[in-house]
Chains A and B, each alone.
Chain A
Amino acid sequence: MKAFTYQRADSVTQAATAAIKPGAKIIAGGTNLLDLMKLQVETPSRLIDINRLPLDRIEETPEGGLRIGTLVRNSDLAADPRVRQRYGVLSRALLAGASAQLRNKATTGGNLLQRTRCYYFYDVTKPCNKRNPGSGCAALAGFNRIHAILGTSEHCIAAHPSDMAVAMRALDAKVETINGEGHTRVIPIGALHRLPDKTPDIETSLKPGEIITSVTLPPPPPGIQVYRKVRDRASYACAGFSRRGRR
């Protein structure tokens, strides 16, 4: 792991101001970021720890939905009685992801911003346009049965690994952000993640220093919600295919 300066943020705007600096990264749960740092796929020179910020609450919105703080842990979100009752697809998707230990640590915002599990993105000896723009894509002619079928480009065929994001998309969630100047923004979840096209290294529409503060859910849609995940083993594996539906 490359050396970095560790800093604990006292406020959201302080974190956003620090995060805009080159080489800076926000750390929340850290389960994906530290994994990638150990492999030197991620090499931040400064880590800003936001775990002490008061962004870990789930609140009712006046519209009849929920506002989920970015630091709400995946396990707490899946187990929240309101989520289980009204947004079953979200609970199911969360529980389909990772392991209990990881879900106890992983956060809502971090889950959305986690990186692909493409083998070639993880292997720093291989070309990867996402990790090293312009170097090529080893997955195109490589072992790629876990890769994307839709939304690919000739530069990248990586899939986003999040189960939770699939459910959030089905529920028309919105992502709320703030930057160092204190300006807030609302991004529909469908506009958060970008298709790879020619710049697979730019994965989201977030600007440098822009931090997710919460994710809001509109009132639950009518009908039954289901989440189906196909994978290589019964538990603790990324999806080969996942879909959400309501009827």
Chain B
Amino acid sequence: MDEHEPDAEPNAFEVTRRTVIETGATALLLTTLPRAALAAGEAYDNEPLPPPVKVELQINGQPHSLTLDARTTLLDALREHLALTGSKKGCDHGQCGACTVLIDGRRINSCLTLAAMHDGHSITTIEGLARGDDLHPLQAAFVEHDGFQCGYCTSGQICSAVGMLAESRLGMPSYVTEDLTHPPAELNDAEIRERMSGNICRCAAYPNIVAAIKQAAGMPT
């Protein structure tokens, strides 16, 4: 076989970029940080840590029981405790939207809420949108319209758009809605941009994001 010819079959021991990064990062963290610091930051003043809290979360249809430092945000619970790394940590202060998830269908910033506050709640993350190999219509539309460049904000953008379209279907108005008592049944570009203003894209893929959302909503693009 020509040594430059790509392998016809995937290697059984194939190592992806993601597994290398995840394994490496985890190994590094475990060697340098005490357990409690992994999720919530270091302990202060040598005070004993308050008792951990037990949390039951229903994530993408699967029940999860966790015992967490009370400081653990929902985002850190997802990423650090459940290895659901699709939700991204951008600013960690509710300004960028990369951590957007859906709680009982409503979009929120998972970085600005404690996991303990969501005991018993149903949470949908980017990992829960597709049905097997069938992408969610918004995922497919983002691919088709190149709704990203680096991709870091994309899972937040897509989860936010899912929540946004649900809000629109419920007739919820936005800041640019002209008649508050009669929100438009079909969103125009200005409505989509205003309603998505909690999601920042540093690559500025905004025109393609708007096009992807319009396609997923069944509007002409």
Contact = CB atoms under 8 A, between A and B. Distances in A.
Nearest to A34: B112
B70 A101 contact: no
B109 A101 contact: yes
Interface residues of A, number: 37
B107 A5 contact: no
Interface in B99-126: 100, 106-109, 112-114, 116-117, 119
Chain B contact residues, majority secondary structure: loop
B147 interface: no
Contacts of A114: none
Interface string A44-68: 0001010100000000000000000
Chain B's interface size range is 35 or more
Contact of A235 (B40, B41, B180, B194): B194
Given A75-B172, A84-B173, A6 B114 contact: yes
B77 to A, nearest CB: 13
Contacts of A81: 181
A85 B100 CA distance: 31
Interface stretch (A91-99, A148-156, A192-200): A91-99
A104 B94 contact: no
Nearest to A83: B180
Contacts of A49: 114, 116-117
B173 A78 contact: yes
B92 A38 contact: yes
Contacts of B194: 234-235
B174 interface: yes
B175 A95 contact: yes
